[in-house]
Structure 1
Amino acid sequence: MPDHLRHRESRRDAGPGPVDLAATPFRGDRDRIVASPFFARLGGVTQVVSASGSALLHNRLTHSLKVAQIARAIAERLISDPELAPLLEDLGGCDPDVVEAASLAHDLGHPPFGHLGEQVLDRLARHRFGLPDGFEGNAQSFRIITTTDTRGPRAAGLDLTAAVRAATLKYPWTRLTHPSPHPREMSDPPRGAAEPKDAPGTGSSKFSAYVTELDDLTQCRTSFDKRVETWQQTVESSVMDNADDIAYAIHDLEDFHRIGVLQHAPVSAELGQWESDRAEFAAFDDEELAEHHRRPGQSLEALRRRLHARDSWMVDDEVFAAAVSRVRDELVDDLLSVPFDGSVAAEQAFGRFASGWTARLVGGVHVLADPPTRSGHVLLGREQWHEVQVLKFVHRRFVLLRPDLALYQRGQARLLTSLVEALEQWMGDRYEADRLPRRLHDLVELAHGEYTMLAADHPRTLVGAAGEQPSGPAAILSLARGRAVIDFVASLTDGQASDLLEALSGRTGQFWSDSFVL
């Protein structure tokens, strides 16, 4: 390893600790992540819908394993190309062990019920508890590996190497304040850095660190100074990000075909009609297109226009049309044309689809020395990028936007809201507060120390979007309690969240510690 990158291996804590079985620090990081209870809990956390009965659906654990598999394959392919070696070294390196470890850690912070849970906890964190940076799954993952997990030598995080911590940072900024100037203020912000259009003033829609972990963010990125911009992913993080997109685009479609949700007819109509009438669709202005919202092909045309508005640096109409044709041929007319019946032939069809598409997408990955702001240094080829957009469109249009899924998720949102409210009330009950779960007590103490320090040394980081700044011990304690409740609920599985609310509501006789001690 070059001398200038040796400190990529340094851990936050250099003192003695448990002996790692692995021979190298990066492999040791991988082992620490896999041994974490936060990693084990991902088997009980929703990917899109909760697995139940005999349905073999992906959960956050199986998703993370597949992301790690794909990411390692990409990294090994890149470093095997001697022409890329100088560029990769200049950018800070691309170690397959680092990439694999970061991929295994990237979803540790996902709360119960997946992205729906993330939205609910963010709303509660900001509006109920006044936490300026709210809740974000990527930032929660970073908080776990640096702070709230207790399996590292210092009982504060996992003491992972700087390289692996940096590789987990898909969005290497905080919501509102770091770095300065903040990337959301750029004329063409990086992907995820812009504010939500319906929530101006709230900061970036995606970010990978809370202000409580700002020191960790800056420390682990030190060795990448002047190699990548402050707002750019490291190469290893960019590999992980691409692998996450590939896994999401392929495997979630398999799940919903397997359980009969993804149907041949509507997908075929949408893609086929757009192909037949693409010139007519293109001639509509936006208002006319909106009037045809029930016409097959309209949604796909709307996607094409969004890509032009958002990613003009990459989108090409003819390549987009070719991607639609390929997806129709290989997904619609092949995989979806025969209902899944559990037979050997059906499973083999899954295997062909997944392996073929994975190989094609991984094969298109390349490295740019000077990428556009909406991409990392590692990116898909133009054809593969368009194909991923169409695959993700099929998933969103025909799975995520289904009314029956919305009904299911509204119930989950009410459950999480009620659980947070119940824990907050318990914490404020002076007669019962001393009987809170020990883990919740510890999280309050941890957050209280963090916010006390920030209020004294970096008060600007505690200023909310509306400009208000907490002052006095009571305000700091309130922030700490809010963050502790959010940390606690985010660390539960889907089943634990449901069971805990049942217990707190008096609707079950189950002894709570059977399920809820991490």
Structure 2
Amino acid sequence: MMDRHDRRPAADPDLEKRRLQRVHLEDPDVYRPLSVGVESEYRTDLERLRFTPSFARLADVTQVVTPGATDGVVHNRLTHSIKVTVVARSIAIALLRSSPPERLSALGGLNHVVCQVAAIAHDLGHPPFGHLGERTLDRLARDEFGLADGFEGNAQTFRIITELEVHDIGTDGLNLTAASRAGVLKYPWGRFAVPDPHPTTWEERPRGAGRGIDGPGAGKFNAYVPDLGEMVSVIDLLGLEPGRQTLECAVMDLADDIAYSLHDLEDFHRSGVLQYSPIANEFRSWLRDRASLHLMASDELGRLGQIPGGSLERLRRRAEAKDRWVYDEELFAEAVRIIGADFIDDVLARPYDGSMDSDRSISAFVGRWLDELVASARLNEHGGARAPLVTVAPLAWHQILVLKFIHQQFVLERPDLAMVQRGQASVLKHLVHMLDEWLSDRLDGRRAPQRLLDLVEVAEQGYRRVRDEEPWLLGNVDTTAVARMARGRGIIDYVASLSDSQAYAYSTRLGTTGSGVLWASGAL
């Protein structure tokens, strides 16, 4: 039975058929009337994802703070994904209740179960050690194996659900509906190719299409070269405009932002990482000196380094330059004032001591802000490639920006975290090199883990197909280089599929010298 909250109109049954399309039709009645069939098909997708090993492993993949860093319970990628799912469902139901049905239909339709599917799946591609692992594997893929498109967590997620995970004999991928496959396409383009012209060349580039921190091409993208055809087929099937997310993907993207901005602060506060004095000084100094900071030239601001208020001013300037569709100077200042009073002076001023009072304080803050941010979600009427289809009220948008700034500025730059991450990067490098060496051993290579051998074979099939059908996507490379790329992709797929503890254990078995001991001791 159709969920009573799903009021998306069935004005275009052909569109719904396309959204329900699987790669292999398993049910001859897959196109039965919408009142009977839609929810069951999308819920099948949801349950397939929940039962995958890829989802289970997220319980042992670090969000940011490792479990040993605090006496309290902190988020991992699994708990984060579950909470994003709850937020995404809440946003979707609110939009279904408040938005004109014809508007939702014009934007391709909205289903709250598909939003949950997208949220459950969105972090499947995160490798061990989160974003640090992502950057490390990206460099290794490009430098060691000649994989121009390297590694990217969103592209890995799409590869997992369409190629690497399985649910039945004789199938590749989870065979999800087109709507669910499109739900994870936050950045629906390749690193260098598709669509043409590529978003990196657009006058107004979508979010994520700018150059990344390390390496050329789009900083964020959703498909590696062997998977571009699958991504294009989904986009074409649903009739999506180049560079555009589906509504369900936009809901998931916003839910991820909201959860990330609040739950990471909760973890950092409980772990004692966030210190009141430097954060309060930054906020108060910017509010006091904002007029003079605003007049300061960018090169002068950079030369002065970490002057109080300078980091918030740099954040304000980035928002002004990149997000003119929503940025407002007074709303930015109001967001700084509100968060300064509500979080810094009311919560952070009292150090977390593990007491019930401390738990009440941070839990009340998170719960109240979560409700307010979710309640402010709305369809975005602004045009432009950078503007998402679903957003929050302008003040809430600025508040999320400032909330995320706190942990980005006062946690991710900490030297003790950097030391832990250096050890983690060494573990991944060692693991990749040792697996490559093992596969190169003519006598012993066949005894490598069968999963690794399978993944290399899958990659070989993919790269051979591209070489034969679309060789321009690989550039001017010979057969030996293609084989090397295929092995590299298989190794990267294998390492990315490990949990944090598996990465340490496998690296140790292969002869690591002990890198990563700091991680095990919770050195944050």
Normalised by the shorter chain, which TM-score bucket? over 0.9
Secondary structure of 1:479's aligned partner:
helix
Supply the AA of the counterpart residue of 2:23.
Answer: R
Of the three residues 190, 209, 217, the one matched with 1:193 is 209
**Is 1:209 matched up with 2:228?**
no
- Cα distance in 2 for partners of 1:361, 1:334 equals 19
Supply the AA of the counterpart residue of 1:5.
Answer: L
Match runs of 1:317-328 below 5 Å? 317-328=329-340
Report deviation, 1:254: 0.5
User: Hey, what does 2:64 align to over in structure 1?
Assistant: 48
Q: Do 1:170 and 1:237's aligned partners in 2 also have CA atoms closer than 8 Å?
A: yes
User: Hey, what does 1:512 align to over in structure 2?
Assistant: none
Of the three residues 308, 323, 332, the one matched with 1:311 is 323
Report deviation, 1:95: 0.4
User: Hey, what does 2:100 align to over in structure 1?
Assistant: 84
Change (3 A) 1:364 1:16: closer
**Is 1:471 matched up with 2:485?**
no
**Is 1:10 matched up with 2:24?**
no
Report deviation, 1:224: 3.0
Identity %: 45
Change (3 A) 1:204 1:377: same
Name which of structure 1's ranges 30-39 and 341-350 shifts more when overlaid on structure 2.
341-350
Report deviation, 1:153: 5.5
- Cα distance in 1 for partners of 2:107, 2:222 equals 20
Of the three residues 345, 355, 379, the one matched with 2:391 is 379
Q: Do 2:226 and 2:462's aligned partners in 1 also have CA atoms closer than 8 Å?
A: yes
Q: Do 2:430 and 2:512's aligned partners in 1 also have CA atoms closer than 8 Å?
A: no
Q: Do 1:50 and 1:113's aligned partners in 2 also have CA atoms closer than 8 Å?
A: no
**Is 1:166 matched up with 2:178?**
no
Supply the AA of the counterpart residue of 2:81.
Answer: S
- Cα distance in 2 for partners of 1:440, 1:471 equals 24
Report deviation, 1:27: 0.7
Name which of structure 1's ranges 1-10 and 297-306 shifts more when overlaid on structure 2.
1-10
Report deviation, 1:215: 2.4
User: Hey, what does 1:481 align to over in structure 2?
Assistant: 487
- Cα distance in 1 for partners of 2:359, 2:14 equals 49
1:398-457 residue CA offsets vs partner (Å, 9 max, x unmatched): 101111111111111111111101110011011210101000111111111111111000
- Cα distance in 2 for partners of 1:16, 1:450 equals 28
**Is 1:457 matched up with 2:477?**
no
User: Hey, what does 1:438 align to over in structure 2?
Assistant: 450
CA RMSD of aligned residues (A): 1.9
Q: Do 2:178 and 2:238's aligned partners in 1 also have CA atoms closer than 8 Å?
A: no
5+ residue gaps in structure 1? 464-468, 509-518
Q: Do 2:325 and 2:387's aligned partners in 1 also have CA atoms closer than 8 Å?
A: no
Q: Do 1:91 and 1:224's aligned partners in 2 also have CA atoms closer than 8 Å?
A: no
Match runs of 1:86-485 below 5 Å? 86-152=102-168, 154-196=170-212, 199=215, 202-225=216-239, 228-463=240-475, 469-472=476-479, 474-485=480-491
User: Hey, what does 1:496 align to over in structure 2?
Assistant: 502
Supply the AA of the counterpart residue of 1:501.
Answer: S
Change (3 A) 1:341 1:183: same
Supply the AA of the counterpart residue of 1:194.
Answer: G
- Cα distance in 2 for partners of 1:410, 1:371 equals 42
1:18-44 residue CA offsets vs partner (Å, 9 max, x unmatched): x9x996011111100000000000000
Secondary structure of 2:326's aligned partner:
coil
1:294-338 residue CA offsets vs partner (Å, 9 max, x unmatched): 321111111111111221222111110000001101110111111
Under a length normalisation based on structure 1, what TM-score does the superposition of the two structures give? Answer: 0.92
Secondary structure of 1:221's aligned partner:
helix
- Cα distance in 1 for partners of 2:82, 2:170 equals 27
- Cα distance in 1 for partners of 2:310, 2:365 equals 27
Report deviation, 1:229: 1.8
Report deviation, 1:217: 1.1
Aligned length: 495
Q: Do 2:61 and 2:129's aligned partners in 1 also have CA atoms closer than 8 Å?
A: yes
Report deviation, 1:16: 6.6
User: Hey, what does 1:513 align to over in structure 2?
Assistant: none
Q: Do 2:325 and 2:382's aligned partners in 1 also have CA atoms closer than 8 Å?
A: no
Supply the AA of the counterpart residue of 1:289.
Answer: L
Secondary structure of 2:67's aligned partner:
coil
Change (3 A) 1:314 1:369: closer
Secondary structure of 2:176's aligned partner:
coil
5+ residue gaps in structure 2? 1-9, 31-36, 515-524
Change (3 A) 1:384 1:344: same
Q: Do 1:68 and 1:104's aligned partners in 2 also have CA atoms closer than 8 Å?
A: yes
- Cα distance in 1 for partners of 2:329, 2:440 equals 58
Change (3 A) 1:153 1:353: farther
Q: Do 2:46 and 2:116's aligned partners in 1 also have CA atoms closer than 8 Å?
A: yes
- Cα distance in 2 for partners of 1:229, 1:381 equals 25
- Cα distance in 1 for partners of 2:405, 2:382 equals 28
